[in-house]
Amino acid sequence: MTARLLSGKPIADRVAARSKERNEALKRRGITPRLAIISVGTDPAASSYAGRLIKGAKGMGIEVADVTMPREITEQELRDRLDAVSRDRTVHGMLLLTPLPGALDELHVVDHITVEKDVEGMNPFSMGLLVDGRPKFIPSTAEAIVEMLRYYDIPLRGAHTVILGRSTVIGRPVASLLLEEDATITITHSRTVGLESLTRGADVVVVGVGKAGLIRGEMLKPGAVVIDAGINVTPTGIVGDVDTESVSAVASALSPVPGGVGAVTTALLLRNVITATEEQT
C-alpha cells in the first residue's frame, strides 16, 4: 500500500481566489485590509509561518504590519502592545505568533486581542463560540485540517479520530470541529498512557505537536488517514511530525509537509482578515 498524498494546493487556491474577489470589492471602496503579525523573540516554525503569510498577503493585496518584540519583553508590556494594536483603527486583523518564550502566559495574554480582529480565534470568547458550535473566527490550522478531510471526502461520521496534542490552536479546536462532523474523538497528549494502542484503533489520526518522526507506520492500522500539521525546521528543510516512509506504507492517505495543511492554513487566515475588514468597515 502506498498512501495517497492529500495536497493542500487545490483547496488553498480555491480559498485565495474567492478572497481576491472580495478584496477587489473592498478596494473599489478605497479600503485596504491590514494584518498585524505580532511576534516575541524568534521561533523557527513561527517565523516560517509568518513568511508564508507575508508572501500570501502580498499576492492578495493585504498589507502586513510586522510587530516584532524582544524575547525579554515583560508580560505587561506585551499586553499593552496588544491593547494598542487592538485600538489601532488602521489594523483589521491581529495574529500573535506562538509559542511565546520564557514565562509569558499565553492563556492570559490572548485576552488582549480584541474579538473583532481575532482572525486566529485565540481570544477566549472566540474559543467559547467554537465549542458552542457557532464559531466566528476559527484557529486556521484546525479549520484547514477539517477542510482537507472534507475536500478529499474522508468519511468522518462515526469515524474514530485520534488527535495528538491538546493545544488551543490545533488539538482542542480540531476536536470541536470534528464533533460537529459526528466523528468520535480521542485527544491524547504528553501524559497519555498507551498512545500506540489508541492510534492503532484510529480511522483518522491528526498530529500537530512539533516533534519530527512522532508517528510511525507501526502505530497505525492499515488504511488509516493521517493528517500531519506539524512544522519542524531541520537542517535539510521543513518536515512534519510523521515518519513519511513508514507511514506511507500503511496509511491510505497522508497530508505531506510541506505542501499539505500549511498552504490551506495560510489561505484561511488571510480570508479571515478579509472577513474582519468587511465587518469593521
Domains of the chain with CATH codes: 29-122+263-280 (3.40.50.10860), 139-261 (3.40.50.720)
pLDDT digits (tens, 9 = 90+) for 41-71: 877 888 888 999 999 999 999 999 999 999 9
Nearest Cα residue to 223 out of 36, 3, 35: 3
User: Per-residue pLDDT averaged across 221-233, rounded?
Assistant: 95
Stated length of the chain: 281
**pLDDT at residue 1 is higher than 70:** no
pLDDT digits (tens, 9 = 90+) for 195-208: 999 999 999 999 99
Nearest Cα residue to 239 out of 250, 224, 255: 255
Give me the pLDDT at residue 102, please: 81
* Euclidean distance between CA atoms 91 and 63, whole angstroms: 9
Cα–Cα distances in angstroms (integers) from residue 65 to residues 57, 79, 126, 239, 274, in the given order: 11, 18, 23, 28, 15
**pLDDT at residue 126 is higher than 70:** yes
Give me the pLDDT at residue 236, please: 87
pLDDT digits (tens, 9 = 90+) for 248-281: 999 999 999 999 999 999 999 999 999 999 999 9
Give the number of other Cβ atoms within 10 Å of residue 21's Cβ: 10
User: Per-residue pLDDT averaged across 125-150, rounded?
Assistant: 96
